[in-house]
Each structure stands twice: as structure tokens, then as C-alpha cells.
Amino acid sequence: MSRTRAIFSALTAIIVALVIVTQLHKQPAVASGGVCNPTRANLPICPSTAPSESASFLDPTAKIINPTNISLGEKVYVAPFAELNATIAPISIAEDSNVQDQVKITASGTGVEIGPRVIMAHMTTIKGAAKIGTQGSTGPFSDPITNTHFNNDIPETFLSFNCEINGATIESNTVVNFLSRVGPGVTLPAGKVVLPGKNVTTNFQASSGSLGKVANLTEADVRLMEAIIEVNEAFAKGYTELARADLSNVQGINYAPVTSFNPGGLPQIGGSVTRKPNFRNRIIGNVILQDSLATLNKKIGNRISLRADEGQPFNIGEIAGMANDVVFHALETTSLTLGNKIGYGPRVLVHGGRQVVNGVANGPETRIDNFVGLGPNSVVFRSIIGSRSAVGQKSAVFNSTVAPRTAIGSKTIYADNGNMISSVEW
């Protein structure tokens, strides 16, 4: 069990790779930076008159329910097909936080309160009465990798791919890993990392590493969070500038914003550079699709987000089929290569990144070969999947090279080239 925790401490150290409320005055970071309600007049730029350096940006596909009960601080980025539902309780999101593709926040009870510098990675679910990154220690924390102590005076919080926060308190300086869950009434204390696939249902599980559910935060985790936040602040600014130039620039098949890490540009579909603002899905930047637009329209579902606005290019072969709510993204300076006849189930996430070899992210980039099936809610990150393989429902392949004709079952965490295989507990 100690080896399991040690491996995942190392893995999480390099993973990437997210309202008007009655107690808003308790969040000085939001109050000092200003608050915006994402009403019709403040979409997609919030507030509509803010300078691009401080504006928040909400992708036009994001679903905003009861916006007068939602508040955003400055430089918040809300990605395609995210959903903020404040029908029965308020949602507040402080400055420098980001809400990635397919994130769903449904507030109830006293509402959802999200502090500054919170990363809500692709497909995160937050529901109930939850507090995230609004409190917590700044250290000192004990780094299990370097055997040193450190502080983090500018706290961050990272909710990773496809995790769930249900009525819990997640303090700052924490990570909730991919496909993991923190349940009602639980407080995850500062300095803790929930391991992939774990279901944390008690405060003891959230604080004690002896139970195998959590590990200690590392300085590498902090550096990673800082880098992610910087990228998403650039998205808020870059998409704001695109929208101000022409509102149709941030719709459908379209440009990526020009940033320090991305040259911008348009997708290529069926051999032709394509811009189609009225397309129902978001295809952004240097995405190269072999299928023609007419063929693609028949093969893929709805609420799909293929975002080459950070890493690029994405080279995508002929698609076998793509269900609703699929997301492609990549870390900066990395790409995606996806073969022919891949079947993408609903809510599949494929994320680019280099494999980590001997503690350094200089290995091969994410690639999926021909005739592979990806099950619903599966995650592929920093990995190669060999041809004619299958990844089961609600499973993750991380930092691995999977041989051809391999079947990975449902609710499985397959990491570090099979040196770590565990179950998703919920």
C-alpha cells in the first residue's frame, strides 16, 4: 500500500493534465477584483465593458442558468459546454479560476462557493453545497518526493479530469485527482491529494494517508497548478479579444486565440481550411480532420469540444463514430495523433501530454492507433494506445504505452505502464 501511495504521489506531481451570494464579503479576493453577473448583457465577455486584461470570458456554448444568482471574479475562463446551474442556490467563482469543458456545477443548499485560483478540469462535477478553495493553510507542507518542507503563499486548488465534489469542502493547496470523488460533509484539508479513482467519504479518509485514499501535496503539484492557471488567464484574455474583433470568431469551427504558447489559426477539415461559426460543436485551432465536413456532420454527436488552443496540432484520422460530450485538449507544446476508425463513447476525454520518464516529461506524446474503442467516461492522458485495443467505461490510462490488442476493463486506473492498476471506487 505504501508503494501505491508513493507511485501516485509521483504521478500526481506531474499530472496536468480545469453569483451573488449572501456571504460574498467573506471572499476578499473576489470583492477587491470586482464581481460580474453573466447576464445576457455580459456574455460572452463579463463584464461587457471590462478591459481584456481583466475580463472574464464564457464560451457561447456554456449553459448559464439563473445568471443573477451567479457571480464571477476577474479573469475567469469558462470553456465550451460547461454548465453553471444556480436555479435554487447561488454560485460564486472568484478571480483567476477556470471552468473547463463539460464541467457541471449544480448548486443547492447554501450554494457553491469557489475561491480564487481554482482549476476545474474537463468534466469535473460539483453539486450540492460545496466550498472549494475558500479556506485552508498555506503550509508548511511536507513534500514526500524531496523530503523537504515548503509553503505556498498564493494558494491554488486543482480538481482533475472527471472527478466529483458532492457537498464537500475542498481547502486550497489540494488536488482531487482524475476519476476520484469527495462526498457529502467531508473536508479535504490543505496539503492533501486525493489519489486517482478513490472515493473519499469520511474526514479520516481525507486526512490520513494510511488508508490509501490520499497522499501529500508536492512542490511539483504547486508548480503545475501555477502553469495551468497562467494558461487559462491567457484564454480569458485571448478569447475576449477574438470576440471583440468579431463575435462570430468564438462560435462553431473557428480560430484559436494567439497566445505566447499557441499561434492561433483555423482547423483543416477534409483537406480544406474551415471556418463555420454556425456549426453545432466547437472545433478550435489547428485541428486536422481527415473526414470531410459533410461526413463529419453524420459521424459525430453534440456538445463536442476539440480545442487545439493550447497544445497543437491535433491530427485525427477517419472517425468510426463520436458520441456526445467528447473533449480533446493538450498541454502546451504537445500534440495529439489519433488514428483511423476509433470509436469515441460519450464523455470521452483524450488529453495530450508527454509521458514522464525518470521524472522528466520528455517521453512520447499522446497517440491512439487505429481501430480502438474508448468507453463512456474514459480518460486517456500522456499515453499511447496500440491498435485494436479497448478502454472500458469510466477508466483512465495515464502515463502508459498500451500494447496492441489490449483490453482494459471498466472502472480501471491503468498507470505507469501497468505498474499501477487499481479500481475506480464509485
Res 7: pLDDT:
42
Considering the domain architecture, whether residues 99 and 190 belong to the same structural domain is answered as yes
Of 170, 205, 227, the last residue of a domain is 227
Considering the domain architecture, whether residues 286 and 179 belong to the same structural domain is answered as no
- Using CA atoms, how far residue 228 sits from 35, 60, 357, in Å, is 22, 22, 21
CA dist 422 and 265 (Å) reads 40
Considering the domain architecture, whether residues 126 and 265 belong to the same structural domain is answered as no
Res 167: pLDDT:
98
Considering the domain architecture, whether residues 167 and 300 belong to the same structural domain is answered as no
Res 96: pLDDT:
98
65 SS3 class: strand
The verdict on residue 250 lying in a domain is no
Res 407: pLDDT:
97
Q: What DSSP assignment string belongs to 150-214?
A: E--SS--EEE-TT-EEES-EE-SSEEE-TT-EE-TT-EE-TTEEEPTT-EE-SHHHHH-GGGSSE
Res 23: pLDDT:
31
Considering the domain architecture, whether residues 223 and 265 belong to the same structural domain is answered as no
Considering the domain architecture, whether residues 351 and 280 belong to the same structural domain is answered as yes
Assigned C-alpha cell, 203: 474526514
Considering the domain architecture, whether residues 16 and 153 belong to the same structural domain is answered as yes
CB count within 10 Å of CB 217 equals 27
pLDDT digits (tens, 9 = 90+) for 266-291: 999 999 999 999 999 999 999 999 99
The verdict on residue 232 lying in a domain is no
Of 227, 253, 281, the last residue of a domain is 227
Res 189: pLDDT:
98
The verdict on residue 233 lying in a domain is no
Res 359: pLDDT:
81
The verdict on residue 234 lying in a domain is no
CB count within 10 Å of CB 359 equals 11
The verdict on residue 316 lying in a domain is yes
Query: CA torsion sign, 57 to 61 to 67 to 70?
Result: negative
Considering the domain architecture, whether residues 217 and 301 belong to the same structural domain is answered as no
Domain that holds residue 153: 2-227
The verdict on residue 164 lying in a domain is yes
Angle at 419 between CA 357 and CA 122, to 5 degrees: 70
Considering the domain architecture, whether residues 311 and 389 belong to the same structural domain is answered as yes
The verdict on residue 254 lying in a domain is no
Considering the domain architecture, whether residues 345 and 400 belong to the same structural domain is answered as yes
* CATH number for position 78: 2.160.10.10
| Domains held by the chain: number | 2
Q: What DSSP assignment string belongs to 236-291?
A: HHHHHHHHHH-GGGGSSEEPBPPBTTB--B--EETTEE--BTT-SSEEEESEEESS
CA dist 232 and 236 (Å) reads 6
| Nearest alpha carbon to residue 145 among 7, 2, 1, 4 | 7
Strands 268-269 and 272-273: antiparallel
307 SS3 class: strand
Considering the domain architecture, whether residues 280 and 340 belong to the same structural domain is answered as yes
Residues 413 and 179 sit within 8 Å (Cβ to Cβ): yes
Considering the domain architecture, whether residues 222 and 301 belong to the same structural domain is answered as no
The verdict on residue 212 lying in a domain is yes
Per-residue pLDDT of the chain (426 residues; tens, 9 = 90+): 444 444 444 444 333 333 222 233 333 333 334 799 999 999 999 999 999 999 999 999 999 999 999 999 999 999 999 999 999 999 999 999 999 999 999 999 999 999 999 999 999 999 999 999 999 999 999 999 899 999 999 999 999 999 999 999 999 999 999 999 999 999 999 999 999 999 999 999 999 999 999 999 999 999 999 999 999 999 999 999 999 999 999 999 999 999 999 999 999 999 999 999 999 999 999 999 999 999 999 999 999 999 999 999 999 999 999 999 999 999 999 999 999 999 999 999 999 999 999 888 999 999 999 999 999 999 999 999 999 999 999 999 999 999 999 999 999 999 999 988 999 999
